[in-house]
Amino acid sequence: MSRGEPTGVRCATKRVKCVGLALTLLVAAPALAQYDDPPPSKPQEQPVASGPERVKQLMPEFERRRDAINAELRKLVETPAKGGDAWANEWAGEYSCGLTGVTTIVSLAPRSGIAFIREGCYSTWEINTGDIILADATGVSLKLVDQPQPSALQTLDSEMYFVRWGERRYLIARSKLEEFCNSYNAGTLAKRDFWVYPLHRDDLGKRAPTTPPTVAAEFARLLLTDPIDAGVVKVSDVSTERLESGELAMHGTLTLDAGSADQVVRGLAFHMVNSKQPLSARVVRTEEHQCEARFVQVLADQAKSDPPRIGAWMSTLDRGTSCENVRPTKR
């Protein structure tokens, strides 16, 4: 697996004159560690059970793995890792996150691998374990017993990245890094980081900084030091569908008057300003002065909702229902 080096932030704004534009490249000195003979895991049984049955099957292996990780972490305190394992001195440990009544804990050590558990008020929802295949200062590649299913609560992938935000250290699934960067741009990261992004146990209580986080180079392009504001110039492909949950969702495509010349990139999220219901759109295509962004809006009730209108304002900063400080488009 090839990883980009961790880097800093690219400044991007259309409406505000930047005082300075800087990109800081942090080079990861430790050599890549490849684990050719990881600790043995129980072979995955076919077919794979689900829910409580699968949790019951995996629990003995989870407990064995967790105990091995904890023992290795205690040794690391006394004898720091060297060579290819040196990344563990900063990043090995226990990470956690959770909503009310739901807690996720991820434990990581260089030789014992990873152990994952998500628990509710009265039961264990999900567990997983895995071996570390590759590791360096940017993150780890894993061979997991079960492949995680995509969901809003997903916090585990076969590729996990180390992210530092000031004094706070996170272990973030690759599939969540884009969302993490957009949460920072939106100004909501400090409010919701512990809900969905596993934070190192030793960093609980450390204040969220005002400076941008440090992420791998391929995701750093998403981080902004100033918001980008844009107007909706076209609305297309709007339709509604009933979700499995029974909720009604509207989705479609918005064309915005900001493009690659304004440092808009694929994956960047824009949020509707002064909207009765929250609406966010993710950029899927860019031109020099325009971009296309897809949106999915879960409606608050069963009543019909009007789609976004031409002339509406969006911003990478989540301004909520206020249109204050949104800057007019230069024509």
Q: What is the pLDDT of residues 60-86, one digit of tens each?
A: 999 999 999 999 999 999 999 999 999
Same domain for 151 and 297, yes or no, is: no
Under the banding of pLDDT at 50, 70 and 90, the label for residue 208 is confident
Alpha carbons 45 and 60: distance in angstroms, whole number: 15
User: What is the pLDDT at residue 302?
Assistant: 55
Per the structure, how many domains does the chain have? 2
Same domain, 101 and 136: yes
Q: Is the pLDDT score of 36 beyond 80?
A: no
Residue 121 DSSP class:
S
Residue 200 lies in a domain: yes
Where residue 14 falls among pLDDT bands split at 50, 70, 90? very low
User: Rounded distance, CA 282 to CA 294, Å?
Assistant: 5
pLDDT of residue 94: 98
Among residues 172, 195, 220, the one where a domain terminates is: 220
- Single residue among 220, 248, 273 that ends a domain in this structure: 220
Residue 43 in this model has a pLDDT that exceeds 90: no
Q: Considering the domain boundaries, does residue 331 fall inside one? A: no
What count of Cα atoms within 13 Å lies in the side-chain half-sphere of residue 42? 15
Question: For residue range 108-136, what is the model confidence (pLDDT) as tens digits?
Answer: 999 999 999 999 888 999 999 999 999 99
| pLDDT for the residue 51 | 83
Q: Is the pLDDT of residue 269 over 80?
A: yes
- Per the CB < 8 A criterion, the answer to whether 232 and 310 are in contact is yes
Residue 291 belongs to what domain range?
229-315
**Do the Cβ atoms of 31 and 136 come closer than 8 Å?**
yes
Q: Same domain, yes or no, for 183 and 296?
A: no
The predicted-structure confidence for 130-172, as pLDDT tens digits, reads as follows 999 999 999 999 999 999 888 777 899 999 999 999 999 999 9
| Residues 311 and 182 occupy one common structural domain | no
Q: Are residues 126 and 200 in the same domain?
A: yes
Q: Let me know whether 197 and 267 are in one domain.
A: no
Task: Tell me, yes or no, whether 284 and 213 share the same domain.
Answer: no
Please check whether residue 321 lies inside any domain of the structure.
no
Whether 287 is covered by a domain: the verdict is: yes
Place of tokens 């609406």: 279
Whether 324 maps to a domain, the answer reads no
CA 233 – CA 312 distance, rounded (Å): 8
* Span 18-46, average pLDDT: 45
Would you say residue 244 lies in a domain? Answer: yes
- Same domain, yes or no, for 127 and 46? yes
Residue 287 CA to residue 306 CA, distance in Å, equals 27
The token duo for 167 is: 């004094």
Give the pLDDT band (50/70/90) at residue 30.
very low
Model confidence pLDDT, tens digit, residues 211-244: 999 999 999 999 999 999 999 999 999 998 888 7
Claim: this prediction has a pTM higher than 0.75? yes
CATH code where residue 254 lies: 2.40.10
Q: What is the pLDDT of residue 301?
A: 61
Domain presence at residue 60: yes
Average pLDDT for residues 287-303, to the nearest whole number? 86
Give the model confidence (pLDDT) of 299-325 as tens digits: 766 556 778 899 999 999 998 644 444
pLDDT of residue 167: 95
Give the Cα separation of 280 and 284 in Å (integer): 13
Note whether 233 and 139 are same-domain residues: no
Q: What is the model's pLDDT at position 23?
A: 33
Range 174-184 burial, b when 16+ CB lie within 10 A, else e: bbbbbbbbbbb
pLDDT the model gives residue 330: 38
Q: Which tens digits make up the pLDDT trace of 183-200?
A: 999 999 988 777 889 999
Tell me, yes or no, whether 325 lies in a domain.
no
Q: Is 208 helix (H, G, I), strand (E, B) or coil?
A: coil
Same domain, 191 and 283: no
* CA 250/CA 123 separation, integer angstroms: 34
Rounded to whole angstroms, the Cα distance separating 229 from 11 reads 14
pLDDT of residue 3: 56
Is the confidence at residue 209, as pLDDT, over 80?
Answer: yes
Task: State the sign of the Cα–Cα–Cα–Cα dihedral 234, 240, 241, 246.
Answer: positive
